[in-house]
Every structure is written in structure tokens, then in C-alpha cells.
Amino acid sequence: MLSNLKAQPADKILALMAKFKEDPRSTKIDLGVGVYKNAQGVTPVMRAVKEAERRLVAEQTSKSYVGLAGDPAYANAMIDLVLSDSVARDNIAAVATPGGTGAVRQAFELVKMANPAARVFVSNPTWPNHVSILKYLGIETIAYRYFDSETRAVDFEGMLADLTEAREGDVVLLHGCCHNPTGANLNLTQWQSVVDLINEKGLIAMIDIAYQGFGDGLEEDAAATRLVASSVKECLIAGSCSKNFGVYRERTGILMAISDDNTDTKLVQGSLNFLNRQNFSFPPDHGARVVTTILTDPELRADWAAELEETRLGMLALRQQLADELQRLSGSDRFGFLAQHRGMFSQIGTTPDMVEKLRADNAIYMVGDSRMNIAGLNADTVPVLAKAIIDAGI
């Protein structure tokens, strides 16, 4: 049986990580992997996380299973963080998941269970794992225009034109903030137009929000998700704590399913519980309990929010420094978009061959579509990257 298996395509980002690790050059710069790093190249444990874990170790008396949906206190804390009071709690079903990826996977599974004929519209480009999971589940995937390679901004007219081709019951996958991989986001006026189209055509909104707090601030980054969730009939939201709490390895995510007053929320909750049971039984609890401890303790929450804000402002400063240095070297403002984008990622807009040239000549590693992780830079490496970009003729 096992001899019948076929080799699967390698994950490009993981393959890039392996190449970077093997590169002996001391000057190498890793802009590929989507993990936040500080100026020292370390993914730190946040102060509030350390304190919450200390409390858990001292106070926790059991490692027994929690429920299939996870700890209800975690769901309530995350619903408050993402949605605040924009949606009635009675209309929200939620389950803890192994990271944001687990939430995305469970959302797609729920779509397939509820409407096997549904197609999922995804932005071009999007996080590669979105498409990979949909393909594995056998769900038809249709790309809609999103990023204008000339302006480095959202191709909003193209986006709306492509979404008008969706049929009633189709799903529109949207990035709640800090679009991955482009860093280009809709403004709230554009979001309202998307909401209007979703309602007009009877579509289902699905939001992947993995970077709340990394863009314009915790509340600002949640604004679009809250607008959509409060304005459409049904909405799925996949949330992640990997980035904004820095608990990557603890696999801490949540899936929320929002329905209107005509749908039995208990039915939806039961379906989510069932999917958890089929795929991994009980969700991981340690990261979820850490997050809950932080969000429900005023002092810890304030310290976490302050450290997160320092992280956000640090990334914005790197963006501005890089844009300024590129303008100085090129005498052009064509890279000004880097300061306007938000989150960890931007695409500088070049070919895979040029990306390979940056790696070969300068030990600069980024994904082949020219997505680079801004958090992989520091004040000293920004000038190195800028010079390499200009020298390569990008």
C-alpha cells in the first residue's frame, strides 16, 4: 500500500527555510518565513505570556480533556477581542482549533458539509495554504483579482468584477487585515461595497484574521471584520493567536460561525463540535488558556497590548526606513507603497529570477513571488536589502 504513495509538492516556504539554514554566509537575511522576529532575529516570548504561563504552572491542577469546543472562556475572550459587541453572542458558534490553519481547515470542512456545491473565491494572490487545503478537500476554487502589480495597491474594480460572477451560496474568502502576501488592504468604504455585493448575490463571507494588532492597531484591524460580521446573513471567521500573542508553537486558533436569528445556533455549534471530533478530537488547551488568562486580566491585557503596539510600530518604522532608503538610492518614489502597506508582508514586485538573483548574489531569501517578511529586517539590514534591490535592477 505505502509504495503506491506519490510524492507531494514541497511547501515552497519550508523549502526556502531549509535553504537558508544550509547557507554558510554570515550576511544572509531571512525574509521568507512568516514569523515575527525582533531586531536580534529572535521570536520572543511576550511578557504577558510568560506571566500567564507562570500562573498556570502554579495554579493548574489537571491536564484532563476540555470539551470538544475547547474552554468556553477562551471562545468568549476571543469573540470579544475580534468582534466586541458588533454581533449578538447568541448568534455565534465557536470552537478552539489547532492554530489559525486549523480554523481555516474546519471552516472549509463546514462549507463542504453544509453545501457541497459551494465554490470558494480566493484573492489572487492569497496565502498558499488556503488553496492547498481547498484542493485537498476537493472544493472548487476560483481566484478573484486583488493586487495590481503596477500600482502595488488593491485592484478593487477587478475584484468586484470577478466577485459578480459568484453564485448564490458561494463563499468569498477575505483577509480581515494585513493581507498575506501583499500587505495591501481595502479601506472601509471598499469593504462596505464588498458587503453590499455579498448581500445582493446571497454569498457567504469567510474572513481569515491572523494579524490583528499588526497593522493599524487592535481595534482598527478588527473594524472590517466587525463590519462584515454585523452586516451579512452568515459569516465564518478563522482567527489566530500565533502572531499577536507570539504563541506559534502552541497552535492556538478559533473558528467562529455567525448566523442570523432564523438559524439554530445550537445546530451550528453541534456541527463544529462534530468536525473537531472527527479531525483531532479535543483541541489543544495550553495556548488557549494562556490567551484567556491575558485577555481576562486587566493588568496582563494592558501589558500585552502595550508590547504588541511596540511590535506594530517597530514594523512600521522598518517599512518607512526601507521606503526612504530605496527612494534615496533610486531617486524614485516607486517603492513608496512599502510604507503604505500593513502587517508583516509586502511584495516588492519582481520575477522569480530576480528573487533567485538576490539569494545567489546577496544571501537575501524571500518567496519566489517576491513576498518578503518585513519583520525579518532590522535597522542594520534595511540598507543592505535596499542596495541589493537597486543593484539587481528591480
Q: Which three cell numbers stand for residue 150?
A: 503596477
CB 209 within 8 A of CB 239: yes
Instruction: Write the burial class of residue 170 (CB in 10 Å: 0-12 exposed, 13-18 middle, 19+ buried).
Output: buried
Q: What is the pLDDT of residue 349?
A: 84
Q: Which three cell numbers stand for residue 5?
A: 504513495
Q: Is 208 a catalytic residue?
A: yes
Q: Is 210 a catalytic residue?
A: yes
Q: Which letter does DSSP use for residue 174 in this model? A: E
CA distance 301 to 182: 30
Query: For 323-375, how does the pLDDT look when each residue is reduced to its tens digit (9 = 90+)?
Result: 999 999 999 999 999 999 999 999 988 899 999 999 999 999 999 999 999 99
Q: Which of 94, 166, 210, 238 is catalytic?
A: 210
How many CB atoms are closer than 10 A to CB 387?
A: 14
Buried b / exposed e over 191-226, threshold 16 CB at 10 Å, is beebbebbeebebbbbbbbbbbbbbbbbeebbbbbb
Q: Is 386 a catalytic residue?
A: no
Q: Is 127 a catalytic residue?
A: yes
Q: What is the pLDDT of residue 380?
A: 95
Instruction: Write the burial class of residue 251 (CB in 10 Å: 0-12 exposed, 13-18 middle, 19+ buried).
Output: buried
Q: What is the pLDDT of residue 34?
A: 84
Helices of type H across 5-98: 12-22, 47-59, 72-83
Instruction: Write the burial class of residue 299 (CB in 10 Å: 0-12 exposed, 13-18 middle, 19+ buried).
Output: exposed
Q: Which three cell numbers stand for residue 92?
A: 455565534
Query: For 30-61, how does the pLDDT look when each residue is reduced to its tens digit (9 = 90+)?
Result: 998 889 988 888 999 999 999 999 999 999 99
| Residue 143, strand partner residues | 122
The mean pLDDT values, 10 residues at a time, for the chain of 394 residues are: 90 85 94 88 95 97 96 98 97 98 98 97 96 97 95 96 98 98 97 98 98 98 98 98 97 97 93 97 97 98 98 97 96 95 93 94 93 94 96 90
CA distance 3 to 6: 8
DSSP structure string for 215-266: SS-HHHHHHHHHHHHHHSS-EEEEEE-TTTS--GGG-EEEEEEE--TTS-HH
Q: What is the pLDDT of residue 100?
A: 98
Q: What is the pLDDT of residue 9?
A: 82
Q: Which of 243, 357, 363, 369 is catalytic?
A: 243
Q: Which of 30, 155, 162, 208 is catalytic?
A: 208
- Residue 380, C-beta contacts closer than 8 angstroms, at least 6 positions apart: none
- Please give the model's pTM, rounded to 2 decimal places: 0.96
Domains of the chain: residue spans and CATH: 12-45+313-391 (3.90.1150.10), 65-296 (3.40.640.10)
Q: Which of 96, 103, 127, 205 is catalytic?
A: 127
Helices of type H across 296-351: 298-330, 337-340
CA distance 287 to 293: 10
Q: What is the pLDDT of residue 40?
A: 87
Q: Which letter does DSSP use for residue 182 in this model? A: T
